[in-house]
C-alpha cells in the first residue's frame, strides 16, 4: 500500500470495526429487548437503531454512493424524538434495513481510492469546497463512525 | 496541504472535535455531579473521567510522545472497576490531569507529518510492524477517539 492508501484505509478499518462491535451486540438482543431504555427516561434501543439506520442511509447520497434505500425512516427516527410516533416499523424490518444499508455503504467505500476519499461530500458546494478541502468524504465517515461509537456506548447500558 | 496531509489531518481534527465536545460537557458539571451514575448500577462520572484520563495518559508513551504524566491512575481507574477503591483522587485533580494530558497530546500530534502518523506504535515490534504497517500511530488515535466518543455517549445520560 502507498502512504495515501495506508492513511485512508485506517478510517475504513475503523468504521468496519465499530460496525462489527455494534452488530455483535445486536445479535445478542431479542426483539423484545429493543423496548429497553439506555437509562430511565432516555431513548429505547428501538429508537436508537432506527436513528442510526436513518443516519447511515443518508450517507449514501451524502457520499455520492447512490440513492437512499429507506428515506421513510426520517420522520420517526430523525425528525421526531422517541415515543412521539407509533412504532410503525418492526424490529425485524429495522435490523434488515440496517444490514442492507451498511453492506451497500462498506462495499462502496472499499472501492474508494485516496482521491475518492478526498472528494467533496454532497452537502458542500464546489465553490465552498475549493476554499476548504477538509470538507471531504473522509471527514464525513470519521464523523459518523464517532456518532456510532457514541450511541454504542449507550446501547451497551441496556443489557 | 498535500493529499497525505489532508488524509492525516482529518483524524487530528476529529480527535480535537470529540475532545472539545467532551470538555464542554465537563465544564457544565459541578464536582458533586461526578457522583452521578450514567445509568443505575453503572459507572459514576467520577470513574469514567479517571478511566479516560488514564487511557489518554497511556497514549503518551504508546505514540512515542514522552513519559506518562499520571501512571498512578491505572490502579483505581483501569485495573479496578468503579467502587472497588476509595476515591483517593479529587475531581479537581482529575480535571487538571485530563486537561494537561490532552494539551500535551494534541500539541505533539499537531506537529506530526504524514510519515510520523504512519510510524509504528510502541506496542508493536519493528518486526511485526514490517509485516503489518496498519499497526501505526494513526490507527491508535482513531481507536482512542472512538473510545472517547463511546464514553461521551454515556456521560451525557447523567445530566
Task: Tell me the three cell numbers of residue A63.
Answer: 457520499
Task: Tell me the three cell numbers of residue A140.
Answer: 464525513
Percent of chain A with pLDDT over 90: 96
pLDDT beyond 90 at B128: yes
Average pLDDT in the B124-153 region?
98
Judged on CB neighbours under 10 Å (0-12, 13-18, 19+), B135 is middle
Chain B residues within an 8 Å CB radius of A3: 4, 114-115, 118
* B92 reaches A (C-beta below 8 A): no
At B85 the pLDDT is 82
| CA pair distance B93, B89, nearest whole angstrom | 6
At B15 the pLDDT is 98
A32: DSSP letter: G
Average pLDDT in the B88-117 region?
98
- Supply the ipTM of this predicted assembly: 0.97
Nearest to B142 among A1, A14, A114 (CB): A14
Mean pLDDT (chain A) is 97
pLDDT band at residue A24 using 50, 70 and 90 as cut-offs: very high
A1: DSSP letter: -
pLDDT band at residue B18 using 50, 70 and 90 as cut-offs: very high
pLDDT beyond 90 at B5: yes
- Which chain B residue is nearest to residue A41, measuring alpha carbons? B157
How many CB atoms within 10 Å of residue B11? 25
CA distances from A81 to A47, A51, A59, A74, B152 (A): 8, 10, 21, 11, 20
pLDDT digits (tens, 9 = 90+) for A118-156: 999 999 999 999 999 999 999 999 999 999 999 999 999
Mean pLDDT (chain B) is 97
Average pLDDT in the B137-157 region?
98
Q: Where are the alpha helices (DSSP H) in B2-44?
A: 3-27
Residue B37: φ, ψ to 5°: -100, 150
pLDDT beyond 90 at B111: yes
Do residues B108 and B140 lie in contact, with contact meaning Cβ atoms separated by under 8 Å?
no
Rounded to 10°, the helix B137-155/A137-155 angle is 50
pLDDT digits (tens, 9 = 90+) for A39-50: 999 999 999 999
Chain A residues within an 8 Å CB radius of B138: 6-7, 10
* CA A49 centroid distance within chain: 10
Distance from CA of B29 to the nearest CA of A (A): 19
At B12 the pLDDT is 98
pLDDT digits (tens, 9 = 90+) for B53-78: 999 999 999 999 999 999 999 999 99
| CA pair distance B94, B103, nearest whole angstrom | 14
Q: Which residues does residue A44 pair with via DSSP β-bridges, in sequence order?
A: A37
* CA B30 centroid distance within chain: 21
Contact A142 B14 (CB under 8 A): yes
At B53 the pLDDT is 98
At B79 the pLDDT is 94
pLDDT beyond 90 at B159: no
Do residues B15 and B109 lie in contact, with contact meaning Cβ atoms separated by under 8 Å?
yes
pLDDT digits (tens, 9 = 90+) for B23-45: 999 999 999 999 999 999 999 99
Amino acid at each position: 500500500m502507498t502512504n495515501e492508501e495506508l492513511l485512508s484505509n485506517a478510517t475504513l478499518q475503523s468504521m468496519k470495526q465499530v460496525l462489527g462491535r455494534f452488530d455483535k451486540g445486536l445479535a445478542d438482543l431479542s426483539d423484545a429487548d429493543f423496548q429497553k431504555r439506555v437509562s430511565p427516561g432516555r431513548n429505547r434501543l428501538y429508537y436508537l437503531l432506527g436513528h442510526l439506520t436513518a443516519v447511515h442511509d443518508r450517507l449514501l447520497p451524502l457520499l455520492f454512493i447512490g440513492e437512499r434505500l429507506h428515506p421513510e425512516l426520517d420522520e420517526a427516527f430523525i425528525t421526531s424524538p422517541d415515543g412521539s410516533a407509533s412504532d410503525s416499523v418492526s424490529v425485524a424490518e429495522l435490523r434488515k434495513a440496517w444490514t442492507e444499508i451498511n453492506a451497500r455503504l462498506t462495499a462502496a467505500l472499499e472501492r474508494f481510492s485516496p482521491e475518492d476519499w478526498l472528494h467533496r461530500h454532497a452537502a458542500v458546494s464546489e465553490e465552498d469546497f475549493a476554499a476548504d478541502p477538509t470538507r471531504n468524504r473522509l471527514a464525513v465517515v470519521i464523523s459518523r463512525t464517532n456518532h456510532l461509537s457514541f450511541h454504542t456506548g449507550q446501547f451497551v447500558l441496556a443489557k
